[in-house]
Structure 1
Amino acid sequence: MGIKPSYIKNLGTALLAKQREYFTNNFDENKRQLGASAIIESKRVRNRVAGYITRRINAKKRT
Structure 2
Amino acid sequence: MGIKPSYIKNLGTALLAKQQEYFSNSFEANKQQLGSSAVIESKRVRNRVAGYITRKMNAKKRT
The TM-score with structure 2 as length reference comes to: 0.99
Write out aligned runs for 1:1-63 (5 A): 1-63=1-63
**Distance in 1 (alpha carbons) for counterparts of 2:36 and 2:56:** 20
- How far 1:22 moved relative to its partner? 0.3
Any idea what the Cα deviations from partners look like across 1:31-50, whole Å, max 9, x if unmatched?
Answer: 00000010001000000000
The TM-score with structure 1 as length reference comes to: 0.99
Any idea what the Cα deviations from partners look like across 1:5-63, whole Å, max 9, x if unmatched?
Answer: 00000000000000000000000000000000100010000000000000000001111
**Distance in 1 (alpha carbons) for counterparts of 2:16 and 2:47:** 15
**Distance in 1 (alpha carbons) for counterparts of 2:26 and 2:13:** 17
Unaligned 5+ runs, structure 1: none
Task: Point out 4+ residue stretches in structure 1 off by more than 3 angstroms.
Answer: none
Unaligned 5+ runs, structure 2: none
Cα RMSD (Å):
0.3
Counting matched residue pairs gives 63
